[in-house]
Chains A and B, each alone.
Chain A
Amino acid sequence: MSDSGYTLSRLIHDLKEFSVWARSPEPTGVYGLMAEFATPDDVVTAARAVRAAGYKKVDGYSPYPMESLIHELDQHHSWVPTIVLGGGITGFLAGYGLEYWSSVIAYPMNIGGRPFHSWVSFIPPAFETTVLFASFGAVLGMLALNGFPRPYHPVFNIEEFAKSASNDKFYLVIEAADPQFDGARTAELLKTLNPTFVKEIPA
């Protein structure tokens, strides 16, 4: 089990990377190098080797979620849970606030002698809004963190990828933006890892 503690310095580092990415000009030329693998074993082994060689901007592709691949690429951390927590808290406050405001301040009515602020009765709707907002947090958060909707991505320029990535093949992509990236040397490394092919991805 890797320790997935997310530190402040890592957050600052991520934010810096994000700002560099956001300000970077439209890419031209080569997006990166892609290697195709036939088995899950090969892609996991390759991911480990590539990471050991010091590459950082690496992404793996598999037709189903692979815990071991995510682990090798050190992509365990996700902001989704934090967003869900924020959504849940917002939902609770919004739901309970609405009930309190409408029943106590805007429209106080004596119904069966119950108090205006009937907190016990206010729990079910507030619970539902908590779940509702947290769920929207999970879905919208996941979509936003994955950069969706995204109509174009360079990896789909590789015909085999567009056909098989969602079916039965495994891929590893090293981006040209990686500081260690060197067309010939990186391709040499990938070719030693038992791929079915290594191709350059046009941006």
Chain B
Amino acid sequence: MDSGHSSSGTSSTMDSKYLPLPLVAPGHTNDSVTEKISHMTMEKETPRAWWLTFLIALGMAGGLGVAILGLLFVGIGLWGPNTPVGWGMDIINFVWWIGIGHAGTLISAILLLFKQKWRNSINRFAEAMTLAAVLCALQYPLFHTGRPWLAFYWLLPYPNTMSLWPNFRSPLIWDVFAVSTYGTVSLLFWYVGLIPDLGTLRDRAKNPIAKVLYGMASMGWRNSARHWSNYEKAYLLLAGLSTPLVLSVHTVVSFDFSVSLIPGWHATIFPPYFVAGAVFAGFAMVLNLAIPVRWIYRLEDVITMRHIENMAKVMLATGLIVAYGYFMEVFMAWYSGNFFEWFMMKNRAGGPYGWSYWLLILCNVVIPNTLWWKKARTNTIWLFIVSLFVGVGMWLERFVIIVTSLYRDFMPSSWGYYKATEFDWMFFMGTGGLFLTLMLLFVRFLPAIPMSEVKMILPGAEGRARR
């Protein structure tokens, strides 16, 4: 990755193909950036592809409603988990969704601290993805309790009539704190970044209702240097706060497993391995969303090949960390000399669920390694396919960790087999629909690419007067 200098003095002697591509296509001005991005919101007619995907997504989200109603009427017996596999699709999907959210924070916060200017056109989009993913993830802990309205006293600390308090020594309570803080801070970060652009939409809006709504949301932003000074400080500090936060979230999620004594879960490698996996899956999801949106809305000048390629590189790097995690799991199971650990590992790869393990290796280790080739990184169709595989692979990873560690534990008499039910799948598809619905609404009503931040990286933005 490079720091965004798009030209250098030695360009005449160098072959132009070695120079980084520009972050914004040449010829753009402040005005053309505003036009291009504002037109994606309500100003232009809705593309037909938008309506088509929106209807499909809404239908799937309706499935979530049915799945939730069924669950509330009947109970969690509708889902697959049972002895010995007490954790099934609910936690697999929870971890998968939370992980996807991590790429958004990585792009918006960590890349900001590292001054990676290529984040400036994709951060808003990725942050919105984080929020939608966290919302989908939240459905699982909420509804796996069966009757959520009765479950709050052991999830949240508040004075209740039974004088009960949650057990703060449990990672499950850490999870409640980590995920709720993560969701809230992501929302704040996203909103602060939106304020100046909402001001732009307010100034452009022709429809009086839209003008009032954008005006209220922008809080009276007027682009003054005083505003920008406070805004920049707040934004930078939020990035600084989000960085350890995002690392803590998946670390805490991995503690749900590693603090227990189950073979296959009780491992110190879990926190870094989970965080890397989260970023891996998240970047795959960003690409899966950005590639079609870029194509439908003709955004090639602001989401350039350089953005796409950089994302592919991050995906490759985190994929290698994840592959190292898989290797280390096997090595430690053998090296520990622990009978149950080594049995678990042999059974994971060669038992009745062996197919899921080898499919996981194919999706997460074999296929992403094609991204070593520039041709693969710059071919958006192939990149889209690789990202789909990574999404599936990361889902399988959680399936493998959870199910194959539980279904054959210490006592052969208690061995069993796990099978997800139709309701499990309906719930999962439903969260997918909810996610897509939210993303489509976001693209339609809010600026999906931060206008003020793209203007910042246009040539000459600071003027010659810069110290």
Contacts and interface: CB of A to CB of B under 8 A. Distances in A.
Contacts of B233: 78, 80-81, 142
A166 B31 CA distance: 10
Contacts of B248: 124, 127-128, 131
What is the interface residue range for chain B against chain A? 35 or more
Interface stretch (A5-13, A54-62, A183-191): A54-62
B200 A64 contact: no
B465 A99 contact: no
A141 B238 CA distance: 12
Contacts of B466: 67-68
Interface stretch (A16-24, A25-33, A100-108, A194-202): A100-108
Interface string A80-123: 11001000000000010011001100110101101000100110
Nearest to B255: A124
A156 B178 contact: no
What is the interface residue range for chain A against chain B? 35 or more
B169 interface: yes
Contacts of B171: 124
Q: Which of B30, B168, B181, B255 has most chain A Cβ within 10 Å?
A: B168
A149 interface: yes
Contacts of A60: 224-225
Contacts of A128: 174, 177-178, 181, 245, 248
B225 A61 contact: yes
B253 to A, nearest CB: 11
Interface stretch (B188-196, B350-358, B435-443): B188-196
Interface string B226-262: 1111111110011001101100100010010000000
Contacts of B245: 128, 131
B30 A168 contact: yes
B467 A68 contact: yes
A109 B227 CA distance: 50
A138 B29 contact: no
Contact of B174 (A63, A114, A124, A145): A124
Interface in B271-312: none
A75 B226 contact: yes
Contact of A142 (B184, B234, B456, B464): B234
A76 B228 contact: no
Contact of A138 (B167, B227, B238): B238
Contact of B463 (A44, A63, A148): A44
A196 to B, nearest CB: 14
Contacts of B228: 62, 65-66, 69-70
Given A41-B465, A67-B466, A121 B30 contact: no
B196 A166 contact: yes
B163 interface: yes
Given A63-B223, A134-B241, A125 B173 contact: yes
A111 B167 contact: yes
Contacts of A193: none
A145 B241 contact: no
Given A70-B228, A138-B237, A166-B200, A129 B177 contact: yes
Contacts of A112: 169
B164 interface: yes
B444 interface: no
Contacts of A149: 216, 219-220
Contacts of A153: 220, 222
A162 interface: yes
Given A67-B462, A70-B228, A78-B233, A139 B191 contact: yes
Given A66-B225, A68-B467, A167 B168 contact: no
Interface of B: 29-31, 34, 157, 163-169, 171, 173-174, 177-178, 181, 184-185, 188-189, 191-192, 196, 199-200, 202-204, 215-216, 219-234, 237-238, 241-242, 244-245, 248, 252, 255, 451-453, 455-456, 460-467
12 contacts: A39-B463, A70-B232, A77-B229, A102-B168, A106-B165, A111-B167, A124-B252, A128-B245, A131-B181, A132-B184, A139-B234, A166-B199
Nearest first, the 9 A-B pairs at minimum CB distance are: A150-B220, A168-B30, A142-B234, A40-B463, A102-B165, A41-B463, A148-B219, A44-B465, A166-B200
